Every structure is written in C-alpha cells, then in structure tokens.
C-alpha cells in the first residue's frame, strides 16, 4: 500500500505578500504537484504529502505569476500521468518536464509534446529511475521536438560529467543554481563550468532552491543571492526563475517562505528590464509559450 504521512504544515510557510511585483506573464519555471491518487514509484526516496493544483494556484495568486512549468517529481518515476493531468488544469499557461527512460517510444514522446511537455529531467541526486548513461541517447531523440534536458545533481557530479553537457544536441538546464556548494561558490569549478556553458548558449540555469546550499539562510539567503546575481550578470538570456514549491526536500519545520524566495530573486536581479527577461522572455523562448 502507498502510505503517506499527513502533511503537518501548509506548504507555503507564510502568508505575507512578497515585496516584489512581477511583470505580466511571469513564469515560475520549477514546481511540483503531488496527489495521493497516484502511487509513488517503488524506489521513491521522497514521499511527501499532497501538494495539489488548487494549493499551487493559491500560491500563484500570492506571488503574482501566471505561467508555470510543472516538473515531474522523482517520487513518481516515469509515470507521468499526474504531470499530464496537471498541465491540463492551467488553460494553456503551463508546460511540463517529464521523466522517461530509454524504453520510451517515439510515439509516446510525441504524445507528451502534444500535452505540453517541453523537456525531460534527470534527477541524479541520488540516481534513481534515470541514469547519466541515458542522457546522450535520449537527448538525440528529443532534439527534433525542440525540447531540452534538465538535470538535478550535486556539483561534483555535474563537473565529472562536463564532457556530456558540452556535447548535447539540445540545451541543458541546471536545477537550483547547479547546486554549487558554499562558501565561495562563485570560485568553485562547477560554477565556472556552468557559467561557460551559459555564455556559449548551450545551457540555462534555474535561479531556484536558494536554501539548498545557503549557509546564511532565510530570509535573505545572501550567499545564494550572490551566486544567482553572478549567473544573471554573466548570461542574462540563459537564466530562469523557479519557486521549487512545495520544497519536498525540506522538513516540515523548515519549509521556506515563498515570498522570501521571490524577494531573494529580486535582490539578485534588481532591474525591471532584467527581471522581465528572466521571468517572461527566457521562459517563453525555452518552453515555447506563444
């Protein structure tokens, strides 16, 4: 039986409005949906309580975003049914990132595209349903669809696989600031590698998950803000923002306030024109919003 613990707290740890106003068509490029109607994969390490479409729409009203990218959680493996159902509830304003393995058929990839999927994710932290060895063969198969590869992995693993990221026929999107460790993250070899790929137009990075590697923590996440600002300054056309809601890696008493996270992004990208590029223009291009 698929037993899930009751969720003890609201997924969003506060109810105050963010200080940051976002532009029209602003996109949250990274969040998840969880629903107990769909069973977790047998190998799932993360098994959070429900985080519903209605819950997420309430967050949208709070922070002001109107477009969103739903990322298939590792918890569901390659069962993308909830992802596809969820995309359909946002009236054409949502896109999806699926998880598939090398057994997926070309017909299924086309079905996913028609449903709004625009990329595939490799969660290598830790490895599970998909592996590093699958990246190149699957990248070749999704290239005709105009999709991209998204990867979540520790910085050390990203660095070890640098030859793969530099030689893909599609863009690679690095989750959560590329998980570059603190302190002195902007001097880390993984940061320098990702920055180079961004500058070459081969990659994007998500300014998300500020709490993952931050040593300074909430509410300002000042050390993570410094990393995000460096990426945005060096390659403004290749960065995205995501809430990472409902923050499934965090303990219930450590769920970050989404208003704080949006304001931390604003501290990293202080100019209105630059924020519009990150929140509107870059997602519209990558995720094919019309």
Catalytic residue among 244, 258, 260, 263: 244
pLDDT at 253: 86
- How far apart CA 144 and CA 135 sit, in angstroms, is 15
The CATH architecture one would assign to domain 36-287 is Alpha-Beta Barrel (3.20)
**Domain range summary for the chain, segments of one domain joined by +:** 36-287
pLDDT at 9: 38
Global pTM?
0.94
Beta strands at 203-207 and 172-174: parallel, antiparallel or unpaired: parallel
pLDDT at 12: 52
Radius of gyration from C-alpha coordinates of the chain = 17
Question: C-alpha 114: how far from its chain's center?
Answer: 21
pLDDT at 6: 35
Catalytic residue flag (residue 50): no
Per-residue pLDDT of the chain (290 residues; tens, 9 = 90+): 343 443 433 455 567 899 999 999 999 999 999 999 999 999 898 999 999 999 999 999 999 999 999 999 999 999 999 999 999 999 999 999 999 999 999 999 999 999 999 999 999 977 678 999 999 999 999 999 999 999 999 999 999 999 999 999 999 999 999 999 999 999 999 999 999 999 999 999 999 999 999 999 999 999 999 999 999 999 999 999 999 999 999 988 899 999 999 999 999 999 999 999 999 999 999 999 98
Exposure on the CB side of residue 263, measured as CA atoms within 13 A: 15
- How far apart CA 192 and CA 57 sit, in angstroms, is 36
The residues, ordered by sequence, that sit 6+ positions from 144 with a Cβ below 8 Å of its Cβ are none
* C-beta separation of 96 from 69 below 8 A: yes
* C-beta separation of 198 from 239 below 8 A: yes
- How far apart CA 115 and CA 118 sit, in angstroms, is 9
């Amino acid at each position: 039986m698929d037993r899930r613990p009751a969720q003890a707290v609201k997924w969003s740890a506060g109810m105050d409005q963010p200080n940051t106003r976002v532009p029209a068509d602003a996109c949250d490029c990274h969040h998840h949906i969880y629903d107990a109607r769909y069973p977790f994969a047998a190998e799932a390490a993360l098994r959070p309580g429900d985080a519903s479409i209605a819950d997420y729409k309430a967050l949208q009203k709070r922070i002001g975003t109107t477009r969103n990218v739903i990322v298939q959680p590792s918890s569901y493996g390659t069962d993308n049914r909830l992802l596809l159902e969820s995309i359909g509830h946002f009236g054409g304003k949502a896109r999806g990132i699926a998880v598939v393995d090398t057994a997926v058929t070309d017909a299924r990839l086309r079905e996913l595209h028609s449903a709004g999927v625009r990329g595939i994710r490799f969660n290598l932290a830790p490895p599970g349903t998909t592996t590093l060895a699958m990246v190149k063969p699957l990248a070749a198969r999704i290239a005709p669809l105009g999709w991209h590869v998204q990867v979540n992995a520790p910085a050390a693993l990203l660095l070890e696989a640098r030859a793969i990221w530099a030689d893909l026929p599609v863009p690679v999107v690095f989750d959560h600031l590329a998980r570059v460790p603190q302190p002195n993250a902007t001097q880390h070899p993984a940061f320098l590698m990702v920055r180079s790929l961004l500058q070459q137009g081969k990659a994007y990075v998500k300014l998300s998950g500020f709490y993952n590697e931050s040593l300074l923590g909430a509410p300002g996440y000042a050390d993570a803000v410094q990393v995000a600002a460096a990426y945005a300054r060096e390659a403004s056309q290749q960065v995205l923002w995501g809430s990472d809601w409902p923050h499934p890696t965090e303990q219930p008493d450590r769920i970050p306030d989404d208003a704080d996270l949006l304001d931390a992004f604003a501290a990293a990208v202080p100019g209105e024109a630059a924020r519009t590029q990150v929140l509107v223009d870059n997602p519209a291009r990558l995720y094919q919003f019309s």
